[in-house]
Chains A and B, each alone.
Chain A
Amino acid sequence: MKKLFSLTSIGLVISLAVGTFYDLNINSFLFIKDNQVSYFFEHLAPVIFATVVMVGAGLIFWTFSFKQEKTIKVVFCGILYVLLTLLSCVMTLVYINWWGIPYSIIVSGVIIYLIRRLPAELQKRYRWAGIGILLTAFCSMAVVESIKPIWGRVRFRSMQENFALFTSWYQINGDKYLSAVPLKEEIKSFPSGHSQWAGTTLSLSFLASVNPKLKDKEPIFTELQYFVPSF
């Protein structure tokens, strides 16, 4: 895992360095207006994030052997589970409309079924994995969503008629360009929330971390997760 962490860190630094100098050129080359493939992935990323949250929420509640645990602990985790599952359901509703309801119900059911089949001696460890998944998802989301309004970077698609609106990623703009764009959402380019949502899928590898039999396969499990964010 150390090798994988080092390689990813180096890759991210190189990518940021390239972006620092060639952001505008790269986007001019890649941009295809009303691209259906990108619209598909725009709607897929939040659904994946919602699924990751459902997995984490399921793990913190359904790993309890209810008769042996303190009532207050079970009730607290139960409330948290319901709230997070509802939040995930609303998120899928927003992005894939009414398909979000059957999707959330089926996925929640499958998650509960799979968790209840976990070996009893590993259930507590899987609860830790669930906590790790939720912390990764919400801590990173809090940071990204806090930075967006402060940075106020205009999206590439909103500067098609005026490239003077382009700023480097390290430049803090606040509301400076708000009057130049039709919606406040259009000055929230930096950092990408969709990439952060997709990036949280990496935390699913915690499921391999906590199982001694899968521990050796953890790097493979993590590498597979890289496919989701890259799209």
Chain B
Amino acid sequence: MVSRMMQGAHFLSDVTVGFGTAYIFFWIFHTSLNKALKQKYPLEYL
């Protein structure tokens, strides 16, 4: 992210929103995956 700003390719807001988009989807699928694991294997993922 810092390297892209050094190159003048993006602003701080661009890299924040770009990373933030990946982060939001990571959070969504992380929550879904953990929910599914807890339902399927309740004793192993307490």
Residues on A facing B (Cβ under 8 Å): 1, 5, 8, 12, 15-16, 18-20, 22-24, 26-27, 30-33, 35, 37-42, 125, 128-129, 132, 135-136, 139-140, 143-144, 153, 155-157, 160, 168-169, 189-200, 202-203, 205-206, 209-210, 212, 215, 229-231
Contact = CB atoms under 8 A, between A and B. Distances in A.
Given A140-B22, A190-B17, A209-B34, 13 more contacts: A12-B20, A19-B12, A23-B12, A31-B7, A41-B4, A132-B29, A132-B33, A143-B21, A155-B10, A189-B9, A189-B11, A194-B4, A195-B14
Nearest to A195: B18
A229 to B, nearest CB: 5
Contacts of B11: 19, 23-24, 26-27, 153, 156, 169, 189-190
A26 B12 contact: yes
Contacts of A40: 3
Given A132-B33, A135-B25, A38 B19 contact: no
A23 B13 contact: yes
B interface majority secondary structure: helix
Contacts of B17: 16, 169, 190-192
Size band of the interface chain B makes with A: 35 or more
A153 B9 CA distance: 11
21 contacts: A5-B27, A15-B12, A31-B5, A32-B6, A32-B7, A38-B4, A128-B37, A140-B25, A169-B11, A189-B14, A190-B10, A190-B11, A191-B14, A192-B14, A192-B18, A196-B18, A199-B20, A199-B22, A199-B26, A203-B29, A230-B1
Contacts of A195: 1, 4, 10, 14-16, 18-19, 22
A156 B7 CA distance: 9
